[in-house]
Chain A
Amino acid sequence: MPDQPAASIPADPVSEQALATEKPRMSLSRRLFIGAVIWSLIVVVGGVIAMTVTYRAQTLRLLQQELDSTLVTLPRALDILPDGRVVDIEERLPSDARFNLPLSGRYWAMIAVEEDGELGNDIRSQSVWDGPLPISRELADAALANPGITQYGNYQGPNDEHLRSAVRSITVPNRENPILLVAAADREATDEGANQLRFILVVTMTTLAAGTLLALWIGLQVALRPFARVRTHITDVREGRRARLDGNYPVEVLPLTDELNKLLDNNRAVVERAQTHVGNLAHALKTPLAVLRNEASGNTPLDDVVRRQSESMRTNVEHYLKRAQAAARSEALGVRTEISPVLDGLVRLLNRLFERDGVEVVSKVKAGSYMRVEQQDLEEMMGNIMENACKWANSRVEVSVQRGDNGLMEIHVDDDGSGLSPEERTAAVKRGVRLDETAPGTGLGLSIVADIAEMNGGRLVLADSPLGGLRATIALRAA
């Protein structure tokens, strides 16, 4: 069986998928949240850096003050001889026990500077022991360039520790060349403290920021929940489960829902007015048409024309009346009809009617399937389609039901007749086309079915039937 394109009149509500395929805009809450995250990052990183740097500088300053006090005491232990020689007075040297323990991390030294700026003999604390002096050449030069001003620097100590060194150049009476005073201390404890502080800051501030962001996120979700509720309610309205937005909304959302309700009411009023107009017009035309038809009972060509044209007008008027009625009914809320009783009734009726033509109608639909459609509309549609099928069938018409996509249910009516070509199918659902002038019927049947299906959010599709003839499918929303 070759697959031929099916003709259909699709319902055209704005579907969820169409919305989803649009490029999604970034939500307000997400934008706000991302902004908060970036801001938190800046504050946390900046705050940690600023505090750590400040703390480090402060502790370093304290360490340097200690070094300074050592530098102040050192010269007191110097005794300058008249010939410029310098000797140290042991009992006046700094008394801190750490200066006597080798490689303790606390050092001092006094260095004689030579004529050419080279460092000459020196007196050093016992803690230096056999290690190198805790002073770099650059630091010594800086101190010599700025006599009397203490210079600070970092240097590797005799025990490979990180030292903070303080150096000052002084000149003494009877001596031309300056003497360098050096004091140094292990800065590990200081650095350790700063690192610990940084770690604590990172942990606490990150925790704080994370907690704040979490709270913000939860708050946003809670604040935006009413909108999600409004949205589901609007969906309900669109699908006919609800007439208005009558939930218990927060004050912030009320203006929106009020406006929407007004819009809904207005919309409904407009539709009702239009339907009433159509209905009134159709009613108003019925009587004059009947009169015309009765008056044109003669045999003149004019009578003929009037008869035929007024007949065509009558069918049109009928069609629109039915449409208006169906539309009015489809506005009703929460309608659901079980399909099997309707189909069974039609099957019985049609079997009686078409017994003589040798056509058998069978329904394979089990009880328990409901559709969101007025019973009258369902009867109108199925009656139309099934009767059509019986007219064109050779011997058999089958009715079956099947779950379709998008929450629709499909009722198939199959016949074993000769079927239709794709062009004929397209034409069949266009109003006013008669497929066969000899077949009884107005030629409006299928287009009315398509209209009613559409008004109920469904559609009519014509396709090839497995039985060999035409398959007419009505897809309606399941309930």
Chain B
Amino acid sequence: MKRILASLALSVLVVSPSALAQGQWGSSFSADDARSARERGEIRPLKEILRPISAQYGGNMRYFVGLFEENGRKVYIIDWVTRHGELVQFTINAKTGQIISVS
């Protein structure tokens, strides 16, 4: 993907199918999309979403799957390693920060 840095350039946003995207999730959003969405108030900042998880489960993010559109709402999907070394995948509502599912 190419991004235009110059101020004169049109900001071209081409959504490329991410290799990480899993079939049922449609396509993932890029960092630029995430920033715009946050600035518009559609999603909460990622750090605010991660903080309660970090406090509750300990450990840290192992792998960032991405930000997806699912049933009309944006969700973060992340792989997390807890303080006990368990690998879990969280699906989190990006607007409210609530954990939708743990697997």
Contact = CB atoms under 8 A, between A and B. Distances in A.
A binds B: yes
Interface of A: 78, 81, 83-90, 100-103, 110, 112, 114, 120-124, 126, 128-131, 158-160, 175, 179
Contacts of A122: 5
Given A87-B5, A112-B7, A103 B31 contact: no
Nearest to B10: A85
B31 A124 contact: yes
Contacts of A175: 6
B35 interface: yes
A129 B5 contact: no
Contact of B31 (A86, A88, A112, A130): A130
A158 B7 CA distance: 24
A130 B46 contact: yes
Contacts of B92: none
Given A85-B5, A87-B3, A121-B5, 19 more contacts: A81-B6, A83-B8, A88-B2, A89-B2, A90-B1, A100-B64, A101-B61, A101-B64, A103-B46, A112-B5, A112-B6, A121-B7, A123-B3, A129-B35, A129-B46, A130-B43, A130-B45, A159-B50, A160-B47
Nearest to A84: B6
Interface of B: 1-9, 11, 31, 34-35, 37-38, 43, 45-47, 50, 61, 63-64
B4 A129 contact: no
A380 to B, nearest CB: 96
10 contacts: A83-B8, A86-B6, A88-B5, A102-B31, A102-B46, A102-B64, A122-B5, A124-B31, A129-B31, A131-B46
A121 B9 CA distance: 10
User: 7 tightest CB-CB pairs across the interface, nearest first?
Assistant: A85-B6, A86-B5, A130-B34, A130-B38, A120-B7, A130-B35, A85-B9
A158 B5 contact: no
Contacts of A89: 2
Contacts of B50: 103, 159
B5 A123 contact: yes
Contacts of B37: 130
Given A90-B1, A101-B61, A101-B64, A131 B47 contact: yes
Given A86-B6, A101-B61, A114-B7, A126 B1 contact: no
Contacts of B38: 130
A397 B42 CA distance: 118
A358 to B, nearest CB: 108
Contact of A131 (B6, B8, B45): B45
Contact of B4 (A85, A102, A126, A160): A85
Nearest to B4: A87
Contact of B5 (A100, A101, A102, A110): A110
A102 B35 CA distance: 12
B15 to A, nearest CB: 15
A382 to B, nearest CB: 93
A90 B63 CA distance: 21
A179 B5 contact: yes
A100 B20 CA distance: 13
A103 B1 contact: no
A130 B8 CA distance: 23
A75 B65 CA distance: 28
Nearest to A160: B47
A128 B7 CA distance: 21
A188 to B, nearest CB: 13
A89 B2 CA distance: 7
B2 A129 contact: no
Contacts of A84: 6, 8
Which of B1, B38, B46 is the most central at the interface, judged by chain A CB atoms within 10 Å of its CB? B46
B47 A103 contact: yes
A122 B11 CA distance: 11
A128 B47 CA distance: 11
B83 to A, nearest CB: 18
Contacts of B8: 83-85
A86 B4 contact: yes
A87 B5 CA distance: 6
B41 to A, nearest CB: 12
A121 B46 contact: no
A86 B11 CA distance: 12
Contacts of A124: 31
Contacts of B3: 87-88, 123
Contacts of B1: 90
